[in-house]
Amino acid sequence: MSHRATNWAIQQRGLAPATKLVLWHLCDRHNPDYGCFPSQDQLAADAEISRASLNTHLDKLELAGLIRRERRLDDDTKRQRTTRYFLGFEEEFALKPCPDSGHGSTPEPCPDLAKSRVQNLDTNPVSKEPVITTALDAGATREGRVEVSAGDEGPDLDAAEAACLAACGEGMTPAARAAITATTATIGAWLKAGYDLDLDVLPVIADRTARPRGSPIRTWDYFSQAIAARHAKRIAQGAKARGAGEAGAGPSVALGVPAVASGTPGGIPEHLLRLAAWINSGSYVPPSAFTNTTRDALLRAGLVTEATLRARQIY
């Protein structure tokens, strides 16, 4: 296993989850000293897909310019040996390909391998997914991502996701790490909602992945509700600190919440914190679930904004 190779695989963008999973397992079989020589049977078993599907994803990775395959023959028997896979980060990747195979130089198949040894059946049980199929398309996707990142998703979404992945513990398996990057837009939504990466997001991710899990986490949205709750609690505690500094005003009075309703150290009822977390999570919120009194209490406590309430048709 090569940590450099698997980290490189995780950082790739513009791939469908299944294709990225194949890339990750390919990198997991990379040896820093000897290279990458896994058999197709081994790769298919690692990714839990058929060999026909495996070849489809390998073709897409090669067309995207992320891998290069080199056919090898036994000098004595002339039988085919395991394929040598060159990965995009390796120095040998840019070297001139074998003249007999032609792999790595053009999207055209090798003349000797024009007919795949694996039949690509229409009855393949693996679902088909839209993927990047050319290096040009891959570049367009990355350029489009930069434009979005500079606007709605924040100035440095890739760095934010890298920090989130670094915060993950044993509860985030390698396969889950590869799959979860297909939901990066969720991180952009967190940042746009005003959640602080260091104070709200990373602590929740670290806490919820600290221990091995029975079921894998495959989407960043898994953390959304907990992050929203932590953010609401942090805002409430900040409001309490500001209120405590006002002369002659206790925390509850400064926040506009009756003292008899105080149920948390911050002087804000627990049910208000839960409601605020629900609203700020982005999940569907029925307007009928809130009375005018509750709405006003949330606003006075600084747990939600008028814009957020209007978006939920509560205000």
pLDDT digits (tens, 9 = 90+) for 246-268: 544 444 443 343 333 344 445 67
Mean pLDDT confidence for 301-306: 84
pLDDT per residue as tens digits for the range 160-182:
888 888 889 888 888 888 889 88
Task: Give yes or no for residue 22 having a pLDDT over 80.
Answer: yes
Mean pLDDT confidence for 211-215: 86
Residue 299 binned pLDDT confidence (cut-offs 50, 70, 90): confident
Task: Give yes or no for residue 140 having a pLDDT over 70.
Answer: no
Share of the chain above pLDDT 90, in %: 8
Task: Give yes or no for residue 17 having a pLDDT over 70.
Answer: yes
Mean pLDDT confidence for 90-101: 60
Mean pLDDT confidence for 279-285: 77
Task: Give yes or no for residue 313 having a pLDDT over 70.
Answer: yes
Average pLDDT, the chain: 74
Task: Give yes or no for residue 223 having a pLDDT over 90.
Answer: yes
* pLDDT, position 73: 77
Q: List the single range of 14-23, 91-100, 109-118, 299-308 with lowest mean pLDDT.
A: 109-118
* pLDDT, position 244: 67
SS (H, E, C) the chain: CCHHHHHHHHHCCCCCHHHHHHHHHHHHCCECCCEECCCHHHHHHHHCCCHHHHHHHHHHHHHCCCEEEECCECCCCCCECCCEEEECCCHHHHCCCCCCCCCCCCCCCCHHHCCCCCCCCCCCCCCCCCCCCCHHHHHHHHHHHHHHHCCCCCCCHHHHHHHHHHHCCCCCCHHHHHHHHHHCHHHHHHHHCCCCHHHHHHHHHHHHCCCCCCCCCCCHHHHHHHHHHHHHHHHHHHHHHHHHCCCCCCHHHHHCCCHHHCCCCCCCCHHHHHHHHHHHCCCCCCHHHCCHHHHHHHHHCCCCCHHHHHHCCCC
Residue 31 binned pLDDT confidence (cut-offs 50, 70, 90): confident
The fold of the 3-113 domain, in CATH, is Arc Repressor Mutant, subunit A (1.10.10)
Task: Give yes or no for residue 133 having a pLDDT over 50.
Answer: no
Residue-range domain boundaries for the chain = 3-113, 159-311
* pLDDT, position 253: 40
Query: Which one is predicted more confidently, 129 or 314?
Result: 314
* pLDDT, position 240: 74
